[in-house]
Structure 1
Amino acid sequence: MDKPYGEEKTQSPVPDFDELSRNMARFVEGAGKAAAAYLKPVQEGQAPAELSSDASEAIKSLGRVAEVWMSDPQKSFEAQSRLGTQFLSLWASTLKRAQGEPADPVAEPEPRDNRFKDPEWSENPIFDFLKQAYLISSRWAEDLVENAEGLDERTRHKAQFYLKQLSSALSPSNFLLTNPELIRETLKENGANLVRGVSMLAEDIEAGGGELKIRQSDTSRFKVGENIATTPGKVIFRNDLIELIQYAPVTEKVLKRPLLIVPPWINKFYILDLNPEKSFIRWAVSQGLTVFCISWVNPAEQHAEKGFEHYMVDGIFAALDAIEQATGEKKVTAIGYCVGGTLLATTLAYMAAKRDKRIDSATFFTAQVDFTHAGDLKIFAGEEEVRSLEATMKKRGYLEGSRMANAFNMLRPNDLIWPYVVNVYMKGQSPFPFDLLYWNADSTRMPAANHAFYLRNCYLENRLAKGEMELAGVKLDLRKVKIPVFNLATKEDHIAPARSVFVGSKMFGGPVDYVLAGSGHIAGVVNSPSKPKYQFWTGGPVEGELEDWVKQATETSGSWWPYWFDWIKAQAPRMVAAREPGGGKLEPLCDAPGTYVLEKS
């Protein structure tokens, strides 16, 4: 039987009130410093407009939902009645437990929801009520958005997104006085946790130039080239847009056909080379591949006019020329990751039109070519949003890296925002050193021309999938891309949803091997055979709907990397002697990971 209220298992410690008072004074002082850091850009006339713009869009979208419901008094009354009925049930349940009687909860968190794991959320009557009231209210609001009749899908999508931000922010777990764990921690430490937390808050606002740059990892524990991005190699080519890295072989023989990796320029290439255990690049080298990887420049004002055409010509084409000079090989197999994959696909369509056959097969990691089902990032790519962003970028010639970092964090606020707010700024705990989150915070800028082209042609108008995109005067048709394609999607991807990648697989004119990996946009890709965490599905031709494909697909435990390598090797199995960087016509310029990757935003 449930314990009667008042007999909770968890006891709050008795604080030292003198010490608590002193720490509260320090906390107030620290809060003043944080406020000063936040207001500094405002005082200097550099206040960001994004916050007010986002608030305006949220009010507009959610207001439209309210209008839909209020326009039908009967349905509005029924909706309010459903909420009232659930709260009456919650009151009844609370009273029963207060009298020592067992009572089933009215609302329970999802199993993967870590916000309410502390036992006191269930044992204590007040916190149990707050938790369930929050869950009832937030789920009721989600249902209102989902079932608003006559609402256009874009407005519904925006309302769902902003509601997720709002409900995540208003969770009782995020506030000191409504989180039992925070109360215990504060009493136990006499408020010292709040002093440490507000000090880190001030530092992070200052680091973000007046915006909060959330501390997700202990950045002091990592240094690119020393304990992250350490696979041996040399930069063998450099222009004003890329450095091309050739990695040193570890096998006596290698596949004759080299591999070119085209990473995203949103974030840096070393997501594929985090550490020796996780490194896809190091693993590919160990399998006998001659691996080349583009490292994009972190653009500044002088790169403002660099568009998709430049990224194709000075990026991929320049890399192909350098690879031929370095190895003598005219043909490569290529990988494109995320937006790097979108660029690779547009390049392949251009090459098909020009009968350029230097890329003989292509692999895409969580990359989109059809943006019909592009997920929550479409929220930021409406006509008004793109116009506003273009105006912002025109002022400096680029988009600040923090803008994209914040957008990605907002896709998963309960994982990437609020746990760090609670743990760092309220508990006063420095985050653990985590290489993936260090990489995530090592953001890059986007040149104005490139980013505007990408948003308009892909997210806004979906011109590549429609066969309407033009690049360097050539109309692009993906159906003319006849080379073999390996198209990797991940099951829980919020950036390139599996359905979007599946639909995009139908755009190509040649054979496509669609593979679905477990987990999300990063973890599903970086799933090394040395410590595999997830599974993958293979299922033959890309036909029908994704759900039908999954039902008949074959599930395999472990990493998909060996499956991919078998696919690569089957196409061009011939082996040659290993190639050392600098063994061809190009002299090494410096050691990997090069210099461009070191540039901070």
Structure 2
Amino acid sequence: MFSADSAMLKTIKDFGAEIDPLVLTRLQSEYFVELGNLWKDFLGSKLPEFNDRRFSAADWHKQTMHAYNVAIYLLNARFLGLLTEAVQAPEKKKQKIRFAVQQMVDAMSPANFLATNPEAQAKIIETGGESLRQGITLMLEDMQKGRISLTDESAFEVGRNVATTEGTVIFENRLFQLIQYKPLTKTVHQTPLLMVPPCINKFYILDLQPENSLVRYAIEQGHTVFLVSWANPDQSLSGVTWDDYIEEGAITAIEAVQAISKQEKINTFGFCVGGTILSTALAVLADRGEHPAASVTLLTTLLDFTDTGVLDVFVDELQVAMREQTIGNGGLLPARDLASTFSALRPNDLVWNYVQSNYLKGQRPPAFDLLYWNSDSTNLPGPMLCWYLRNTYLENSLKVPGKLKVAGHPVDLGKIDAPVFVYGSREDHIVPWQSAYASMGLLNPKKKSRNRFVLGASGHIAGVINPASKNKRSYWLNDKTSADAKSWFDAATECPGSWWPEWAEFLSEHGGKMVKAPTKAGAVGYSEIEPAPGRYVKVRAD
């Protein structure tokens, strides 16, 4: 049994958990039986069979030593997985153990090391050593960057070939710039749309290329679109709080759109953390007696943090208290720390895959707009982050009416008076779709018929960025609101293609009458500052 066995048992002990000695003995016995069978096959010159995409190349299957190396690795991985499931511990603690063990298992794959990767070895021979030289060059470049390159970053430039939808920055403060986009239709809905993206990433995930831009799609549907472009915090913003993001951020943006459009009601949109910020802001305004939202769209957003998926392994009292002590009263969470956290959620796809291709095989990664965006991370102000982690992920207080006070007002999400469109992605590992669905019970509690839920295929990003023009994947509909997510899904109908037209229909219902499209951006007090996408989004954290 390889050294990970003892490391695994130490991990379990460190977490204060244990395994029934009888179960451990049984699993060890089964392990040695299977290991013995592999040894017999090896002596009989019988190649093992395995089906794992990391080892799909012919070299892994045809060369005896490499084939058995993989077979033993997969046996060890399966055994450690069984050990994890046998742990006697509460589910949250068990989830942390499961995550830690999986990180160890993924890291020990023979595909990750030159000495045990036949594909990389063959590449060296084939290129006369050039792949090795190039791999070392790429590794040194990445060491200077402080991160692994996921794409050819030289192929993209914000404002040149990503974030290119035409518009104008018509307002800015220390936290954000407000972009007003140029209409693409002669007439527009009278009620404008304000989009609030997450502040933990750049906004242009919503505006990558013209063919997959949700921003452009909304404009094409005849909406006057405004968008918040958050600042990438530096030390001057190290003391910014959650209250600031609500008051100086979302509420200020809402008021600016109302003033520019001369409309009391506006359609509002929040994506991921942007949806949490938007919902909090609308609840604060509701307590002030203001109801600016004609509708609310929430994409992959958490309001009920009962189940936070795999991110739960990073949030406990110890970790939050440590953050509070170090940056809670001022400081920044560096972008690279945030990026490393999200990469750890999918290490085979976002770490080891690139270690193998970039460094072991010397292949420069191809250009891919989504991965360029993924590498363009942002810093976060410490006080804001610590408030968010403690009051949402750790204590789940946002969903409790009146428990939290933000910007001087008690927060009651049930006071938000607007029709709601909630979207979740079925394979989302950051916002489990069941948790997105939980918002249906918090919003319009006495008028649940005003809420609509749509479930899309794929994950947190790919599920959202699913252009209607490409007609890919599928989505699920059920017009009846159920008490729980499972009941809703059991009665839902799967529909082919993109969910975007469903959202467009919802937005159109609350867009008001059609009027002549504005010929100029801004209004009195909101003059043109610079062309979109603005300079805030171009500030890189590295």
TMscore range, shorter length: over 0.9
Q: Does 1:141 align with 2:75?
A: no
1:114 corresponding residue in structure 2: 53
Matches within 5 A, 1:66-81: 68-69=18-19, 72-81=20-29
Distance (whole Å) between structure 2 residues aligned to residue 154 and residue 271 of structure 1:
32
Matches within 5 A, 1:359-374: 359-374=293-308
Deviations 1:288-346, CA, capped at 9 Å, x for gaps:
00000000111111212221211111111211222123221121111101111111121
2:30 corresponding residue in structure 1: 82
Distance (whole Å) between structure 1 residues aligned to residue 517 and residue 316 of structure 2:
49
Deviation for aligned residue 1:59: 8.7
- SS at structure 2 position matched to 1:249: coil
Aligned length: 529
Distance (whole Å) between structure 2 residues aligned to residue 491 and residue 323 of structure 1:
33
Aligned mate of 2:283, from 333, 349, 373: 349
Aligned mate of 2:13, from 17, 41, 63: 63
Aligned mate of 2:171, from 215, 237, 259: 237
Deviation for aligned residue 1:152: 1.8
- SS at structure 2 position matched to 1:244: strand
Q: Answer whether contact 2:267 2:511 (CA < 8 A) is retained.
A: no
2:159 corresponding residue in structure 1: 225
Distance (whole Å) between structure 2 residues aligned to residue 554 and residue 293 of structure 1:
33
Range that drifts further, 518-527 or 533-542: 533-542
2:527 corresponding residue in structure 1: 587
Distance (whole Å) between structure 1 residues aligned to residue 38 and residue 453 of structure 2:
47
Matches within 5 A, 1:196-595: 196-208=134-146, 213-393=147-327, 397-467=331-401, 468-508=403-443, 509=445, 510=447, 511-582=450-521, 584-585=523-524, 586-595=526-535
Distance (whole Å) between structure 2 residues aligned to residue 67 and residue 591 of structure 1:
57
Identity score, percent: 38
Q: Answer whether contact 2:12 2:18 (CA < 8 A) is retained.
A: no
Q: Answer whether contact 2:276 2:301 (CA < 8 A) is retained.
A: yes
Q: Answer whether contact 1:145 1:159 (CA < 8 A) is retained.
A: yes
- SS at structure 1 position matched to 2:170: strand
Return closer, same or farther for 1:581/1:165 CA change in 2, 3 Å cut-off.
Answer: farther
Q: Answer whether contact 1:272 1:280 (CA < 8 A) is retained.
A: yes
* Structure 2 gap segments, 5+ residues each: 1-6
2:4 corresponding residue in structure 1: none
* Structure 1 gap segments, 5+ residues each: 1-56
Q: Answer whether contact 1:312 1:347 (CA < 8 A) is retained.
A: yes
Range that drifts further, 381-390 or 576-585: 576-585
2:3 corresponding residue in structure 1: none
Distance (whole Å) between structure 2 residues aligned to residue 523 and residue 136 of structure 1:
32
Deviation for aligned residue 1:392: 3.6
Q: Answer whether contact 1:236 1:581 (CA < 8 A) is retained.
A: no
Distance (whole Å) between structure 2 residues aligned to residue 324 and residue 573 of structure 1:
14
Q: Does 1:166 align with 2:100?
A: no
Structure 1 runs of 4+ off > 4 angstroms? 57-61, 64-67
Distance (whole Å) between structure 2 residues aligned to residue 205 and residue 86 of structure 1:
41
Range that drifts further, 263-272 or 119-128: 119-128
Return closer, same or farther for 1:104/1:240 CA change in 2, 3 Å cut-off.
Answer: closer
Distance (whole Å) between structure 2 residues aligned to residue 61 and residue 261 of structure 1:
44
Distance (whole Å) between structure 1 residues aligned to residue 336 and residue 32 of structure 2:
42
Q: Answer whether contact 2:152 2:368 (CA < 8 A) is retained.
A: yes
Return closer, same or farther for 1:60/1:462 CA change in 2, 3 Å cut-off.
Answer: farther
- SS at structure 1 position matched to 2:194: strand
Deviation for aligned residue 1:65: 6.8
Q: Answer whether contact 2:522 2:528 (CA < 8 A) is retained.
A: no
Aligned-residue RMSD, C-alpha: 2.0
The normalised TM-score by structure 1 is: 0.85
The AA in structure 1 aligned to 2:519 is: E
Distance (whole Å) between structure 1 residues aligned to residue 413 and residue 41 of structure 2:
59
Distance (whole Å) between structure 1 residues aligned to residue 517 and residue 496 of structure 2:
32
1:123 corresponding residue in structure 2: 62
Distance (whole Å) between structure 2 residues aligned to residue 502 and residue 330 of structure 1:
29
Distance (whole Å) between structure 1 residues aligned to residue 81 and residue 204 of structure 2:
38
Return closer, same or farther for 1:140/1:58 CA change in 2, 3 Å cut-off.
Answer: closer
Deviation for aligned residue 1:533: 2.5
Matches within 5 A, 1:46-57: none
The AA in structure 2 aligned to 1:598 is: K
Aligned mate of 1:185, from 112, 123, 136: 123
Distance (whole Å) between structure 2 residues aligned to residue 164 and residue 268 of structure 1:
30
Q: Answer whether contact 1:65 1:148 (CA < 8 A) is retained.
A: no
Return closer, same or farther for 1:377/1:58 CA change in 2, 3 Å cut-off.
Answer: farther
Q: Answer whether contact 1:300 1:397 (CA < 8 A) is retained.
A: no
Q: Answer whether contact 1:246 1:581 (CA < 8 A) is retained.
A: no
Q: Answer whether contact 1:581 1:588 (CA < 8 A) is retained.
A: no
Distance (whole Å) between structure 2 residues aligned to residue 400 and residue 550 of structure 1:
39
Range that drifts further, 491-500 or 81-90: 81-90
